[in-house]
Amino acid sequence: MQLSKDYGFVSNNEKKWRELRRFTLSTLRDFGMGKNSMSQKVQQEAQHLVELLAKLEGGAFEPMTTFRHAVANVICSVVFGSRYSYSDAAFLELLDAVSNYVSFFLSPLAKVYNTFPGIMDRLPGPHKRVLADCQKLKEHIQEKVQFHQLTLDSSCPRDYIDCFLIRAEKVEGGLPSGLAAAGASPRHTESTQHTLLQEQGSPEPMYSHEDLIMSVFNLLGAGTVTTSNTLVFFLLMLAKHPHIQAKVQEEIDAVVGPGRAPSTEDKLRMPYTNAVIHELQRSHKSRIENFPRMATQDVLFRGYTIPKGTPVIPVLSSVHSDPTQWENPGKVDPAHFLDEKGEFRKREAFMAFSAGKRMCPGEALARMELFLFLTTLLQSFTFQLATEHSELDLFSLWLQMERRAIPGKFFALPRPVSS
């Protein structure tokens, strides 16, 4: 991709991708991904969200911005070591940059841009704005990195950036912090540091300054928009299917009750809620195509031969609506994930996080977030659409929601507190 110049861990360079993916996964695990310490962070963030919605006293709200902020705070606490207040306007601008970038990245225009960057750079169009916004986000990350360099204590890493800096020191002799202290401009610092690393004799640095900036960029992009979009989609679906929402709330009331926050351990005793989460993910078809892959050998598929080397774009949602795999593919039916005793059952054809060696490395965190955010919210609120909108078909509703085009039409109604 033209923006990343192949830096960072979502790279086409197999060796770098493998190394940085492994490093990132183990660092995320060290900071609690899939463990108790991370679940506490998510619980706290979910509680902030509940407080924010409670202040509205049942008034309408715009879910996309609010949820994106909450979810971004979880990944920011791991990457930067801190969260941002809901009133931080500068951070909201950066979040807009992240989501515009992700939408652009998945659009057909991005494919044209990547194929003809020289021509596209000279033409006006939405890509110019997206790239300028991304530059701002990279500069924000750059400032964070400079602060981390100046305050780093190698014996006590605070977050992902610290771990990356320590690793860079070990593997490649480090990123020169003196430049940051000398007040070099972000652009100057970036290129100078890259040159310095190459001069140190590493022909292909994997822990360069640019790799750090892009890896953080990748994590913010991949870890924010997907999860927050999924959560908003969940609430939209539950508002459209109030009987399912009520049944999840019944289970929350029975297992968790009103007096404490839901925890990850509760999931084992909440098979219906777990099944609803999987079923809603199965029916979420907003991202139709996965990233392009290449056939590594000749493949015979439905009577056609796909020769080795052919680019292939997997369509994950086709598996999610395959009538040979699902009893009611066109319906929202939590029973797809429940056995005859009402216990949760896994399904092989569930592929929301993809499959294979490039499958989503954030799955454990995403699952934790989906469960804790959803249950904490439904413990306190019932979500509802204004009557005129509940009649609209789901696809149009989702498009409006994604574009934040239905202000004043989505409500979080406080639930009566039972004694």
- Smallest distance from the beta carbon of 313 to ligand HEM, in angstroms? 11
Instruction: Return the structure tokens found at 52.
Output: 């924010």
Q: Report residue 188 CA to chain centroid gap.
A: 31
Longest dimension (CA), the chain: 69
For residues 351 and 319, is the Cβ–Cβ distance under 8 A?
yes
Closest residue by Cα to residue 210 from 220, 218, 200: 218
State the Cα–Cα distance between residues 398 and 404, nearest whole angstrom.
9
226 vs 375, beta carbon nearer ligand HEM: 226
Choice between 193 and 226, CB closer to ligand HEM: 226
The alpha carbon of 69 is separated from its chain's Cα centroid by a whole number of angstroms, namely 12
Query: Nearest to ligand HEM by Cβ — which residue?
Result: 362
Measured from the CB atom, the residue of 38 and 412 that comes closer to ligand HEM is: 38
- Give the shortest CB-290-to-ligand HEM separation in angstroms: 5
CB of 103 to ligand HEM, least distance (A): 15
**Toward ligand HEM, which CB reaches closer, 66 or 218?**
218
Enumerate the known binding-site residues for heme: 360
Rounded to a whole number of angstroms, the minimum distance from the CB of residue 244 to ligand HEM is 19
Cβ closer to ligand HEM: 75 or 406? 75
List binding-site positions.
360
If phi > 0 it is left, if psi is from -120 to 50 it is alpha, else beta; for residue 98 that is alpha
Closer residue to ligand HEM (CB): 364 or 413 = 364
CB of 230 to ligand HEM, least distance (A): 4
CB of 18 to ligand HEM, least distance (A): 9
User: From the CB of 346, what's the least distance to ligand HEM, in Å?
Assistant: 16
The residues of the shown chain that bind ligand HEM, judged by CB under 6 A, are: 10, 21, 218-219, 222-223, 226-227, 230, 290-291, 352-354, 358-362, 365-366
- Could you tell me the CA-to-CA distances from 235 to 47, 63, 398 in Å, in that order? 17, 9, 11
- Nearer residue to ligand HEM within complex by CB, 217 or 410: 217
CB of 72 to ligand HEM, least distance (A): 10
Nearer to ligand HEM, 104 or 411 (CB): 104
